Amino acid sequence: MDKAPTIRVQVEDFDLQTEIDALTNGQRDIGAVVSFTGLCRDDKGALAALELEHYPGMAEAEMLRIAQEAAERWPLNGVTVIHRYGKIEPGENIVLVVAASKHRQAAFDGASFMMDFLKSKAPFWKREIRKDGSESAWVDARDTDEEALKRWR
């Protein structure tokens, strides 16, 4: 990978086009860019916000390890991984992964791989803050997220 991965853990929101422009700028051999945006979802209408806690230092280190692993497995021109923390309301962005490559399959696979590993390996924890003021609850890890890792072995 010509370009060092962009890794950020931040409170602020991000702008996807700005991030992609920063990633592709000046490179004429990128044909495909795949982005994944994870948003705060509220199925039942009961959620006021998610509160995201993280492990400063290790979060960035783990995101970088995941990005580098993706770049070793697929011919990627560049990757960006951004994860927000703090209070995030329904409809707001939580996470962004971008993978740029010459061809589309590597970009899709690289982005999908990074998301699967972020879900299970990046040290972030979500707590639900409810509209009715009832005690907030930590979000349980989903077994399907562990399962998702197996296809990359």
Partner 1 sequence: MVKLIYFAWIRERIGKSEEDIELPDNVKTVGDLIAHLKQRGDGYEVALEVPEVIHVAINQEHSQHSDIIGDAREIALFPPMTGG
Compute the least distance from the CB of residue 135 to its own copies, in Å.
22
**C-alpha to C-alpha distance for 69 and 55, rounded to whole angstroms:** 21
- What is the spatial distance between Cα 147 and Cα 153, in angstroms, rounded to a whole number? 11
The binder of 121, among its own copies, partner 1, none, by C-beta within 5 to 8 A per type, is partner 1
Site string for its own copies, 48-87 (x = CB under 8 A): ----------------------------------------
Measured in residues, the chain has a length of 153
For its own copies, the closer of residues 53 and 92 by Cβ is 92
Binding partner of 102, given its own copies, partner 1, none, CB within 5-8 angstroms per partner class: its own copies
Q: Which residue has the tokens 């990627």?
A: 76
* Strand pairing report for 6-10 and 47-54: unpaired
Nearer to its own copies, 27 or 134 (CB): 27
Q: Measured between alpha carbons, how far is 83 from 85 in angstroms, rounded to an integer?
A: 7
Considering the rule CB under 8 A, would residue 70 count as an interface residue with partner 1? no
Q: CA–CA separation, 92 vs 49, rounded Å?
A: 10
Beta strands 76-84 and 6-10: pairing type?
Answer: parallel
- Residue closer to partner 1 by CB (options 2, 140) is 140
Report if residue 150 touches its own copies, rule: CB under 8 A.
Answer: no
Work out what residue 4 binds among partner 1, its own copies, none; the CB cut-off runs from 5 to 8 Å by kind. Answer: none
d(CA 70, CA 74): 6
Binds partner 1 (CB under 8 A): choice among 83, 98, 101, 106: 83
Tell me: does residue 140 bind its own copies (CB under 8 A): no
